[in-house]
Each structure stands twice: as C-alpha cells, then as structure tokens.
Structure 1
Amino acid sequence: MADTFVVIGGDAAGMSAASKAKREQPDLEAIVFEKGEWVSYAACGMPYYVKGAVESLDDLVTVTAEEFRDERDVDLRTGHEVVDVDPEAETVTVDAGDETYEQPYDDLLVATGASAIEPPFDGLDLEGVFTIHNMDEADVIEEYVTERGLETAAIVGGGYVGIEMAEALSARGVAVHLYEMLPHVLQPFGDTVAEVVEEHLREQGIELHLETAVSGFGGDERIDSVRLEDESVPADIAIVGVGVAPNVDLAEAAGIELGSTGAIATDEYGRTNYENVYAAGDCAEARNVVTGDPDHVPLALTANRAGRAIGQTVTGSPTQIGEIAGTAIVKAFELGAARTGIVDEERAREAGFDPVSVTISAPTRAHYYPGGAELTVTLLADRETGAVLGGSVVGREGPKRIDSIAMALHAGMTATELQNADLAYAPPFSPVWDPVLTAAKVLSGKLE
C-alpha cells in the first residue's frame, strides 16, 4: 500500500508540497484539505484586482483545482476543514460539511497560512469595513467600490497592504486617508525608504496621518466615518491592514510546538517536534540567514520554496527548506521600495552586531542615456567582520537591485566582496558602477 501524505491548506506551501511529492513518487497518495474553494492563488495580486489592473479574479489563480486533480493527480478536497490533528494516532479529523471523518496519514504538512489581524476597533463589523487577505474579501471589496460610488476611504496601516490599497482606491477615483500609528509608513523598510515614499504619497494626493491611532469606525449599519482620539473623519470605506498572524490554533491544540515568534517551530527540513509532521508557509518559522535565529516573514517565495522542499523530503530525498532574509518589494504609485536582511542600526545592535551603515543616491543608467532615475541605497555591515547585514533601496527605477544585496547575504559576503562583484554594465541598464556597488564601495571605505 502506498504511503499517504496529507496536507492541510491549499495555497502556496501546501500545493507546492503535494505537487512535488506526486512528481517524485507518482504512487504516493497526496491528499490536500482546503476549507475554502480557492487554491494556489496570488494573494499579492489582490490590490491590483481592486485597482482594475487585473481584469478577473480568476487571473490570480496559478493552477486551478481541476488541474491539480486531473493533471497532477492530487486528491484535492475543497470545502473540507481539518478540525483536529492527532499526532499520536497519526490522523486528522475532517469536517466535510455533510459529514465528519478521520483520515490517517504517514506524513502530514500543516500549511494553514495566516489571517489578517483584526484590532479591537468599535464598528469593525459595519458594512464597508474590510480586511483583505483572501480572494473572497478582494472580490467583495471590488464589488463594493464599483457599486457604491465612493468618495473617501480610510486605510488603517501603512504596511504593504495599506500602501498598495491606497494606490488601488486612488486609481478608482476615491480620496484616500492613510492612518499609521507609528512615525513612518513601511516601518520594516527603515526611515530612509519611508520618508521618500511618504513624500511621493503626498504628491499623489494621499492624506497621511502619521502617529495617529484609530479607535474605531462610526455609522449605523454602514461606515460613515473613522474615529480618532479627538475627532471623526468621513469615510465611505475602510481597509484595515495592520498585519497578519499565523494560523496556529489547530497545531497548538495538537501539541505541535510554537516558536519564539508565535509561529510553528520547525527545523531546517520543515519538521516540527513530531518526526512526520511538517509545517510551512505563513504559519511556520524559518531560519534567518543573517542572525541565524528563527524568524517569521510570511511571504510567497518562502512558502513555495519550503513546500517544494518538504514534498521532496517526504518522498525520501531530505531537502532543506532554505534560510530567509526577509527580502520584500512594494510598489507605491511610481516608486518601488525594497528591503532585505537588517535595514536599521538599532535592530542590528539588538541582534548582537556592531553596525556601520551608509546611504547613497546614484543614477540607474549612464548619465547620458535617457530614462534613468536616482536610486537611494542604504547598506549595512558589521564593523568587526565586514559582513553585509542587509539594506534597502527606493526609487522610480531599479528597485529589483535589492536582489544583489540579498544574494550577498546568502553568500555571507563582506562589503568589500560585494564592492568587487562583477555586475553587468551597459548604458541603458546601469552606470559603470551600479548603485549597489557604489554603496558597497562607500561602506567598505567607512569600515577601513
């Protein structure tokens, strides 16, 4: 009898694991339980659907449920919620709507994802107040914007979701107020990036309310205002985007250990404290390449990569899930902002380093070639070892240059080694000294 690989959760990590396991071992029984109807979808594309840049919600689906079943031979069961895990008996209990049953497994992957945090705001249940973390929410928001003829929007939270939804609603002709309780938007990107993005947001007509706490929303059945400490501001719609929390209740109830971040603790192969139980994706920790400590950074590549590795491991080829650097990039109207590793000196000191940092601005193309723009690069290194710790970039062109810094982190390069990297040059694409090389050159000099 073939082994049974059970997966809880049908998005990036879960479907990557099931697909890879079936490719490696075709006679394996791979069963995926997904409580919703959407699988393998690009959550990062949802703001662009609301904006109108993506025509159909179906366009965000990478592989359909039917393709998983018919072409990849994965036993995908949508509308099936796992309500209990028994690691000792090696079974999961499944609520299929019209029946509840137990499913045995040989190996289990918990890929339950994360959920949008819902602060204890008054009026959170009013019509017109939304979070956006799944496809159904995106669909409802788009329909609400289309049908209501909205004038003003309140975005609560200045992270990825807040910035992207501010752009989306502005493009739909809605006046946007963005509320952030911290001094800056995009806090994980560092102050340099935040200040550039904030100036650009204001240029685009976004009303920023920094260091401003929201207490709730006003209205009878439907939102009509956002409530602050000492005033109310009119709002026809509110998007609450203050972060996500890993979905760990099921795992915790089963005795699967959580880590210091609150997500599920795993080893380098994605294993939990049970030998044949794995965790991956937004519900699980991974090892930070800079600090060596467990970290929780819920991003798409991390989930896909870990799921794929676990799919190989359960079929007899142990494969590490890989380390993470927290590399991220976000579009803010005409700007791109990106970060990787440790981006500020305070965090570096907390991690035990003696940081040295530089910030430079340099052109993205040769000075005589049209179309270039200034790219601001911040780069950090450890004074004692010279090792690159992380960095950020922001500008109208070239934010994907963050990948060069991310590769330096994974390779354990020093600032001098990064300075000497042989990056490509041609006038339409870069000056002779790429902005990342320039930053590394200046940082190397500061370390001497």
Structure 2
Amino acid sequence: MDERFVIVGGDAAGMSAASKAKRDEPGLDVTVFERGEWVSYAACGMPYYVKGEIEDLEDLVSVTPETFREERDIDLRTGHEVVEVDPDAETVTVERDGERFEQSYDHLLIGTGARAIEPPFDGIDLEGVFTIHDMDAADAIEDDVSDDLERAAIVGGGYVGVEMAEALAGRGLEVSMFEMLPTILAPFGETAAGVVENHLREQGVSLHLETAVEGFTGDGRVEAVELEDEESVPADVVIVGVGVAPNVSLAEDAGIEIGETGAIATDEYGRTNDENVYAAGDCAEERHVVTGEPAHVPLGLTANRAGRAIGQTVAGSPTETGDIAGTAIVKAFELGASRTGIVDEDEAREAGFDPVSVTIDAASRANYYPGASELTVTLVADRESERVLGASLVGQEGVKRIDTVATALHAELTVSELENLDLAYAPPFSPVWDPILTAAKVLNGQLE
C-alpha cells in the first residue's frame, strides 16, 4: 500500500490510529508529529502522581516512543509541531528547532487535543499558579508542592478540581475550592454533587460555591486568591481547573469545518468536510447517543476508540467511531461518583424530552454482608417513550454500575427493559435487586 498516513498529535487518538493502521496495513507509511516529548500517556493518572500514589511519572506512559518506532514501525517524531495544513496540496508544514519543512499525505488525522482554559485572572502568571493538562504541568506541580507550603486553592469544581483537592490534601495542605456554579460536578446532577460536597467538607476541604475568583496576588509567588467584594483567601499554591477548550486553530486555518460545539465537526467515521482529513480526540465532536446531536465530551475512551476506528478506516476497513454517552467516573477521597447520558432535567427538556426521574438509596451489597454501604442512584427517563435518558451514582463503592445504564442508553432500552435485565447477584457484590434494577423499578412505577 503505497500511501502515507500523517497524524498530528501523539496522544490517545493519534497513537491509537497509528498503531491500528499499521497493524492492519503494514505497507502503509505512518508518520506522527508530536510537538512535545510525551506520547501515549494516561492524563487521568496525573492527580495521583501529584498525590504520591504513582511513584514515577514514567509509569503513566502506556507505550514508549521507542516501542512505537522500533516494534511498530511508526515514524514518530517528537519535538515536531505542525503549524499549517494545506488540504489542496495535501501537505502539512512542520517546524522543528526553528526550521520548517513540508510533508505530503494521502490521509491526515488531526488529533491536536484540548488545552486547559486560562481565564484572564490578574496574577495568573505568578509562581505557584498552575493548570494541569499535560505531563510537564503535573511534574511541575509535584515538584512545587513541598513541606514549606500550607494552603492550596482549587479554582473550579469539575473532575480536575475534585481530584486535585484530594491530591493536595493527601500532601498535607489545607484545601479551599472555589466554584462559580451552585454545585460542584454539575454534569453529575444536584443529588450526586450534594453528597460529594458534604464528603469534601468532612475531609476538611473548604468549599466556596457561587463564588467568582477575581485573580491572585503575591510578591513573585502567589499568596492569596482575590474574590469579589475585596475578600481575600490565603494560598501558597493554586490549581486552575475551569475546563478545557479544543485546539482547533490548525484545522480552522485550513478551512476544516468547526462544529456548533466549538470542536471539529466530523461524520460517523471521524471524517471532516475534507474527505482525506479526519479528526479525533479532545479536539473533535462525536454524536451523542441520547440526542443524536453533535457533542464535545473530552474523555479518554472516546479518544482511543475514535482513533482506533480511524486507523482501521484508513487501512481499508471503514469503521464508525461510535456514539458517546458522556459516561464518566470520579474519585473524591472515600467516595466515587459516576454519570452517563442526560442527568439534568432542564437539559433533557432542551433536547426535546419530557423527563421524569427518581432518586433512591440502596445497599451496595446484601445488607447483612460486611462492608455494605449506601449507594445513591438517580435515574432519568422520557415520559412519552419511557426510554432511559441517563443516570448518576454516588457512594463508597459500586459506582462502576453506571456502565449498565450506559449500555442501556446505547441499546435505547426503556425503563421496563432495564428493570428486567438479568444482573448478577451474590451477597458480597450486590443485593438480590441490584440498585440499578431498584431505581428502574421505582421509576417504572411513576411511568405506569
């Protein structure tokens, strides 16, 4: 196969695509340009490296550059930044150490990922103020946190904020969290968020909800977080985790269509408006399984799965990248929280549904079996079609059960069909009626 597959970006989507394409079609020339030095790493593990539970940053690397080059025969070039794409000429312009060259392609994958949003806070450039979205940032934070520091501030109550609160508390710092919304973990729904909020407070985290941060002050190094009304909260280190934005400028400059979410628009095969250009990972849209509309939910499995499918397509076997449900799970000290689909009823109404929901508390195991704990389940459905729309779970164990609901979403199951699933039972693992089945049974009663 005398063709070249060029990939921009060497993390989840890019390296999954490269590996699958080369495996399926060994004669394909596969070249990956990565502007940094890290490739194929587990970004989700970075908070646990900062906490100290992961001893070596290298442990987060799934496959080394040497393995890609020597064992998989992939032309991986780190320290190479693609600065321009010319779809008409089918070339990319690459910069390395101030010098530029062009590389032609037959197929191109844009996997430029996303970047941490840096609001225009005063003092955001002070020493001790960080975002955490790549390995170098994680290493810098871990190196910065020392016995001399006492107080940490987290700006943003999403996944990163909650995980970093645990990480920095685990390093012995007093942690304050600032969130503009009424709750943290907004996509998980008010019930799950409320349980996590109470647990964070029990762990000593000071929560400041519905609180806008104005900036940071300090003499060279950050000393305080400045809030509205001239209120000031001392801080020796600050993590800004207010979300991410897709890196789309390279694609946009090349005339590649940007979707309504702000990410690169793609079809079911990950193809853009240019038939030879694909996009995947945190920079690209996918179709939401519940609404059928484009969505941008940057998660690890989404990137890996889409990249692998595109690699297979380029190698000659067209493969759909798959719909997404936004299934996610997060650890908050001794609690876990998970979610999938549409949990918020207002969001469901905006999508054209008539939502009805229930929240139940159930035991994670048989009540009489040691170690059983309370698991809170919120289940949402459409009243007219009775189709399951989404769910959230929160508890000390068992929140991975969210995968059952995610499967129900992809299968477009009704609440009754979910209730009648034959799920496993044994006292160490579940009550006779699994909490998911119990929630479906209660919700089905409201629909009848």
Asked whether the two chains share a fold, i.e. TM above 0.5, the reply is yes
Which residue number in structure 2 is paired with residue 228 of structure 1? 227
Which residue number in structure 2 is paired with residue 178 of structure 1?
Answer: 177
Paired with 1:398 and 1:134, the residues of 2 have a C-alpha distance of 30
Look up the match of 2:330: 330
The residue that corresponds to 1:293 in the other structure is: 293
Counterpart in 2 of 1:201?
A: 200
The equivalent residue for 1:188 is 187
Distance 2:107 2:35 in 1: 20
Q: 1:211 is matched with which residue?
A: 210
One-letter identity of the residue aligned with 2:337: A
Q: Distance in 1 between matches of 2:437 and 2:165?
A: 33
- Mark the runs of 5 or more structure 1 residues left unpaired by the alignment: none
* Equivalent residue letter for 1:166: A
Letter in 1 for 2:189: G
1:261 partnered with 2:236? no
**Counterpart of 1:155 in structure 2: which amino acid?**
I
| Residue type of the alignment partner of 1:287 | R
Q: Hey, what does 1:131 align to over in structure 2?
A: 131
* 2: CA distance, partners of 1:71 / 1:149: 45
**1:99 CA displacement:** 2.2
Equivalent residue letter for 2:403: D
Deviations 1:401-423 (A, max 9, x none): 00000000000000000000000
Q: Check if 1:79 corresponds to 2:79.
A: yes
Q: Which residue of 2 aligns with 1:272?
A: 272
Post-superposition offset of 1:445: 0.8
Tell me the amino acid that sits aligned with residue 223 of structure 1.
V
Match of 1:39 in 2: 39
CA distance in 1, matches of 2:311, 2:190: 40
SS at match of 1:319: coil
Counterpart of 2:193 in 1: which secondary structure? Answer: helix
Q: Distance in 2 between matches of 1:275 and 1:290?
A: 27
Name the residue aligned to 1:160.
Answer: 159
Q: CA offsets per residue over residues 6-39 of structure 1, 9 Å max, x none?
A: 0000000000000000000001100000000000
Mapped partners of 2:84, 2:51: distance in 1: 39
Please tell me the residue identity of whatever aligns with 1:243.
G
Moved more, 226-235 or 104-113: 226-235
TM-score (norm 2): 0.99
The 5 A counterparts of 1:90-101 are 90-101=90-101
1: CA distance, partners of 2:357 / 2:93: 52
The correspondence of residues 44-55 of structure 1 with structure 2, limited to 5 A, is: 44-55=44-55
2:379 is aligned with 1:374: no
Residues of 2 paired with 1:244 and 1:396: CA distance?
A: 28
Report the number of matched residues. 447
* 1:116 corresponds to: 116
SS at match of 1:108: strand
- Shift in Å, 1:367: 1.0
Deviation at 1:96, TM superposition (A): 1.3
Q: CA deviation at 1:149?
A: 1.8
The 10-residue stretch of structure 1 (323-332 or 91-100) with the greater mean CA deviation from structure 2: 91-100
How much has 1:113 moved relative to structure 2? 0.1
The alpha-carbon deviation at position 133 of structure 1 amounts to: 0.2
How far residue 179 of structure 1 moved from its aligned partner, in angstroms, is: 0.3
TM superposition score normalised by structure 1: 0.99
Q: Name the SS of the counterpart of 1:353 in structure 2.
A: coil
Residue 391 of structure 2 is matched in structure 1 by: 391
**Paired residue for 1:238?**
238
CA distance in 2, matches of 1:385, 1:41: 42
Give the secondary-structure state (helix, strand or coil) at the position aligned to 2:380. strand
Match of 2:157, as an amino acid?
G
What is the alpha-carbon distance in structure 2 between the residues aligned to residue 64 and residue 104 of structure 1?
Answer: 26
Supply the distance in 1 between the matched residues of 2:410 and 2:372 (Cα, whole angstroms). Answer: 29
Residue identity (%): 75
Rounded to whole Å, the distance in 2 between the matches of 1:15 and 1:369 is: 45
Partner Cα separation in structure 1 for residue 385 and residue 116 of structure 2: 39
Displacement after TM superposition at 1:123 (Å) = 0.1
Structure 2 counterpart SS, 1:281: coil
Kindly provide the amino acid, as one letter, of the partner of residue 154 in structure 2.
I
What is the distance in 2 between the residues matched to 1:205 and 1:34?
41
Amino acid at match of 1:354: D
Deviation at 1:98, TM superposition (A): 4.7
Taking the aligned partners of 1:318 and 1:293, their CA distance within structure 2 comes to 22
